[in-house]
Structure 1
Amino acid sequence: MSTFKKLHYWPAIALLPFAFAACNKDDDHNPPSRQTTITIENVLKSQPLVESGTFQGTGTPPVIMPGQSVQVHFSAAKGEAITFACMYGWSNDLFFAPANPGIGLYDVKGMPMEGDVSDQVKLWDNGTRINQQPGANVTHPGTADSKNITEVNGVDAQGNTYLAASKLVKATLKYDGNSMFTLTLQNISGGTANETPLSPGVWAISYIAGGNLLNSAPLYTAGQPTANGLTDIAEKGDNTALYSYIKGITGIFTPLSPVLVVVYNGIDNPIYKTGEVDRGQGLAPLAQKGNADTLAAALKGMKGVKAVYVLPAPGTQVLLPVINGQAGGKVSQDLHVSSGDRIAIATMYGFSNDWFFASAGNGVDATQKGDISSSIQLYDDGTAVNQFPGAGITQFNLAGTPLQESQPISQVPNPNAFTTLPAIPEIIHVTLQ
């Protein structure tokens, strides 16, 4: 199975800003200052799959008989694909699945695909059983074999013949709007020489970053031995083990944009206030695109603001999450603070429409020490229509253009309408030392 690719430079994220730093001069009436260091780190233990699930028939057992169909509902960004696997029921170890990375969902112009995509469905031999002539009389489990996964193109290794997979399984895509699709799989094998029930199956969608899928083969790899529970589907039609595997690698993957840090005194948090609409000072570019330059410039001239910084991660600019155990991105900044000063930060949830992490309420006491991660919350700027994070066609860092709206800034609920996020300290870690 493919694993996370090493990510150094993401073309879609290269537009995020470089560092911006400014300080207002202290006057002679300010109390003595002391040095502290703020460190922000992306500690998210990221996963390669943005969505996954199962499907099955409605009968007992829950197979999909000829003439019956199932539907899968999901969201996807440009460049992402949906893959699935289910058993050719009247075989020893054959399964239906698209060729990797799956069924394409957008055309070359970035428009959603719709209609019959059956030609992308293939028939595969799992390689773990000697194939008998397919049909209701196949003996299960049959004689063991030890071969790699291979595509069945009309005839298997034992000389048994098959119609094209597209003549047995009809796959239809419908675009439901706002990055949401419905895939319908219909068993059309009835009355053919290869009539068969279809087993319960699994489906998955990989994240895309910088034009590369993080896992382009989550269910199987042609030419390689079967793994991760696929054999249970191919031989028995049991999707339990394979779904347990893909569920374990489905979750959150997001970079954090260069971090805005503000030191202020005698005023409320100058970055935002919940319940208000975006002030038009530059928070929207930060929340939608990860660009803090406009907001930093606006804050620099604000009364009560003592210092403003924008901190990009070395090399990558964005703070990448933990990938295959490799530490996530981290930035630090030395600050000069005095009694009464407060600190607030803001950074984009990179794979969203306009979500941003920020210091809750009126920030934190700038003179305190230690872990202040619990002071960070996730907010919705209310300036762009939300979509499934990491699977939205209008998300800027996934080559999209945000759809504008005007709603008050609010905390993102968890669970939310799309997914369940880890606890905030499991995503972003902030300390003062």
Structure 2
Amino acid sequence: MKKSINSKWLLLSAALPFVLVSCSKSHDNIPVTSHHIITIENVLKSQPLVESGTFQQPGMLIQPGDSSSITFSAAKGEAITFATMYGWSNDLFFAPANPGIQVYDASGNPIQGDVSSQIKLWDNGTRINQKPGSTVNHPGTAETKPQNIVEVNGTDAQGNTYLPASSLMKANLKYDGNSMFTLTLKNISGGTTNETPFSPGVWAVSYIVGNNLLNSDPIYTEGKPTANGLTKISEMGDNSELNSYLSSITGIFTPLSPILVVVYNGISNPIYTVGQNDAGHGLKALAQKGDASGLADYLKTVKGVKNVYVLPAANSKVLLPVINGQAGSSVSQQISVAPGDKVAVATMYGFSNDWFFATKGEIDATQASDISSQVGLFDDGTAVNQFPGAGVTQFNLAGTPLTESKPIAAVPNPNSFTTLPDISNIINVTIR
């Protein structure tokens, strides 16, 4: 069941420590020929899950003694959840208690080792339970009135008995470095009174924003009816429908930092140069922390720069994406421009290590048009990259970026972590 996140987005202004400034620079005796308004909007249709997927090939059961693994990325506070069928039952499934298995301790250190104690056995509530075992009839007798999902703690509603889930499934968590983990699920039910195969399953990781997960129960909700395809896993071991649902709510969520706008004339784009290392004038702070103040102060001293603005969004300071259909944030600024003036824009991809959006080439500041197609996404080369929105060293996820030194470069898409929407579907820039 898709969970609303409208109640959480207002926490972003406190959670994302972007620094706010507004400044301008002007020169006397420069004829002003026209006034234009530049508007920047976060148009990203955000999703609550940063990652999701399946484990074990369709039709291939995880038999006693067998294992299956999930590899994923996570930031501090994010958790891994999953579901797989107790195969020799009518409609039971294994899953962690919501929101899932925490993968970092309170200090931000990765957790490793046996996490089996966090796995529970659940009754989907759609079938009358027979005695578990190889003779269970599938699908069995439907409940006259479907019941809510409940934990099976020793016995089910029909009085059948079960060992603790941790006696049937061993879950081991391994840290692979750079915010990546592997969770291995092993079937240890062989020889027990509850021997059973496990089905192919699904898994998910939710974004965390302002210390709150955007979807803390994407697979099931205890005490509520089953939904979104979980029944097919719990009754038949078919993970396809629930995987399709989870995929539909998996994608990108990111705010944009207060927008840097520069009007200049007679020089090249003063914000950045592709192929060169960060020049140390403040772009690093913008790309890593969303703090444009230092770069704005520097640009005011550059010959050929006419005006500099840093534009925070109202209320939230950062530009929020589209959330559950509610329009994303936007900012606007009137600029005074003369023939030959150019305009440049830059803002941080908030849930990254050091990615920033910026206009490419020379853009005529006097021409009224949509210039979104002239915006690119760049890697500042000053911090080690991690999965966007799931990196423990990402500044806006309470981390400290790990230093590296590489030339500024365009971020490839797809990249080694994910596939991003077209940039014009993330940020919209217009001059009118």
TM-score range, shorter chain: over 0.9
Give 2:262's aligned amino acid.
V
Give the corresponding residue for 1:221. Answer: 221
Tell me the distance in 1 between the aligned counterparts of 2:395 and 2:251.
20
Determine if contact 1:126/1:234 at 8 Å carries over to the other structure.
Answer: yes
Tell me the distance in 2 between the aligned counterparts of 1:219 and 1:14.
28
Give 1:414's aligned amino acid.
N
Tell me the distance in 1 between the aligned counterparts of 2:381 and 2:348.
13
Give the corresponding residue for 2:336. Answer: 336
Give the corresponding residue for 1:275. Answer: 275
**In structure 1, the residue corresponding to 2:84 is in which secondary structure?**
strand
Give 1:116's aligned amino acid.
D
Give the corresponding residue for 2:401. Answer: 402
CA positional deviation for 1:194: 0.2
What are the residue-to-residue correspondences of 1:34-433 with 2, within 5 Å? 34-56=34-56, 61-145=59-143, 146-362=146-362, 364-433=363-432
Determine if contact 1:278/1:382 at 8 Å carries over to the other structure.
Answer: yes
CA positional deviation for 1:217: 0.3
Tell me the distance in 2 between the aligned counterparts of 1:34 and 1:226.
60
**In structure 2, the residue corresponding to 1:287 is in which secondary structure?**
helix
CA positional deviation for 1:272: 0.3
Tell me the distance in 1 between the aligned counterparts of 2:192 and 2:26.
79
CA positional deviation for 1:5: 3.8
Tell me the distance in 2 between the aligned counterparts of 1:254 and 1:361.
25
CA positional deviation for 1:9: 2.8
User: In the TM superposition, what whole-angstrom CA distance separates every residue of 1:231-257 from its partner, at most 9, and x where no partner exists?
Assistant: 000000000000000000000000000
Does residue 9 (structure 1) correspond to residue 11 (structure 2)? The answer is yes
Tell me the distance in 2 between the aligned counterparts of 1:404 and 1:430.
31
CA positional deviation for 1:65: 0.1
Tell me the distance in 1 between the aligned counterparts of 2:258 and 2:270.
18
Determine if contact 1:12/1:398 at 8 Å carries over to the other structure.
Answer: no
User: In the TM superposition, what whole-angstrom CA distance separates every residue of 1:412-431 from its partner, at most 9, and x where no partner exists?
Assistant: 00000000000000000000
Tell me the distance in 2 between the aligned counterparts of 1:340 and 1:25.
15
Tell me the distance in 1 between the aligned counterparts of 2:51 and 2:212.
16
**In structure 1, the residue corresponding to 2:10 is in which secondary structure?**
coil
Determine if contact 1:31/1:339 at 8 Å carries over to the other structure.
Answer: no
Give 1:3's aligned amino acid.
S
Unaligned runs of 5+ in 1: none
Tell me the distance in 2 between the aligned counterparts of 1:308 and 1:233.
56
User: In the TM superposition, what whole-angstrom CA distance separates every residue of 1:130-154 from its partner, at most 9, and x where no partner exists?
Assistant: 0000000001111111100000000
CA positional deviation for 1:11: 6.2
CA positional deviation for 1:19: 3.0
Tell me the distance in 1 between the aligned counterparts of 2:371 and 2:311.
18
Tell me the distance in 1 between the aligned counterparts of 2:147 and 2:356.
49
Give the corresponding residue for 2:20. Answer: 18
* Identity level (%): 68
TM-score by length of 1: 0.98
Determine if contact 1:123/1:151 at 8 Å carries over to the other structure.
Answer: yes
TM-score by length of 2: 0.98
Residues 282 and 315 (structure 1), Cα distance of their counterparts in 2 relative to 1, 3 Å cut: same
User: In the TM superposition, what whole-angstrom CA distance separates every residue of 1:18-66 from its partner, at most 9, and x where no partner exists?
Assistant: 2322122232xx3442100000000000000000010115xx8300000
User: In the TM superposition, what whole-angstrom CA distance separates every residue of 1:284-337 from its partner, at most 9, and x where no partner exists?
Assistant: 000000000000000011100000000000010000000000000100000000
Tell me the distance in 2 between the aligned counterparts of 1:272 and 1:423.
22
CA positional deviation for 1:14: 4.3
Determine if contact 1:41/1:330 at 8 Å carries over to the other structure.
Answer: yes
Tell me the distance in 2 between the aligned counterparts of 1:103 and 1:253.
22
Tell me the distance in 1 between the aligned counterparts of 2:187 and 2:427.
46
CA positional deviation for 1:3: 2.5
User: In the TM superposition, what whole-angstrom CA distance separates every residue of 1:191-241 from its partner, at most 9, and x where no partner exists?
Assistant: 000000000000000000010000000000000000000000000000000
Give 2:226's aligned amino acid.
T
**In structure 2, the residue corresponding to 1:425 is in which secondary structure?**
helix
Give 2:316's aligned amino acid.
T
**In structure 1, the residue corresponding to 2:23 is in which secondary structure?**
strand
User: In the TM superposition, what whole-angstrom CA distance separates every residue of 1:162-182 from its partner, at most 9, and x where no partner exists?
Assistant: 000000000000001100000
**In structure 2, the residue corresponding to 1:223 is in which secondary structure?**
coil
Tell me the distance in 2 between the aligned counterparts of 1:162 and 1:412.
51
Determine if contact 2:25/2:307 at 8 Å carries over to the other structure.
Answer: yes
Give 1:73's aligned amino acid.
T
CA positional deviation for 1:15: 2.1
CA positional deviation for 1:100: 0.3
Unaligned runs of 5+ in 2: none
Tell me the distance in 1 between the aligned counterparts of 2:405 and 2:337.
36
Tell me the distance in 2 between the aligned counterparts of 1:18 and 1:10.
14
